[in-house]
Structure 1
Amino acid sequence: MCGFGPAVAMLTAAKRLGATRAELIKYATSGDISGDRQMVVGYAGITVF
């Protein structure tokens, strides 16, 4: 998922389904792999429950 809109849609749906918490599992950037930190993309693994 990428962007503000999809994130809001997912969180809205999760809330309607009864989710009350979220937990960050892991966060990393493309720079962690390539070593180039001039321009990076962030990635997060999050559990919503």
Structure 2
Amino acid sequence: MDLVRIICAIFLPPLGVFLQVGLGMDFWINILLTLCGYIPGIVHAVWIIAKK
């Protein structure tokens, strides 16, 4: 299941975080990072998925 989340995180970083933690603070942080730049959103999403 982590592979599916990582693939989602590459294409839509907030979706990968949402699948991992739901609508928590990490999700909203990832939304902001993705709006600031696509790469920071991907890095944050992969980090959240790998951390848990």
TM-score range, shorter chain: 0.3 to 0.5
Pick the structure with more strand per residue: 1
Per the normalisation by structure 2, the TM-score is: 0.32
State the TM-score, normalizing by the size of structure 1. Answer: 0.34
Hey, which of these two has a bigger chunk of helix by percent?
2
Work out which of the two has the higher radius of gyration on C-alpha atoms and give 1 or 2. Answer: 1
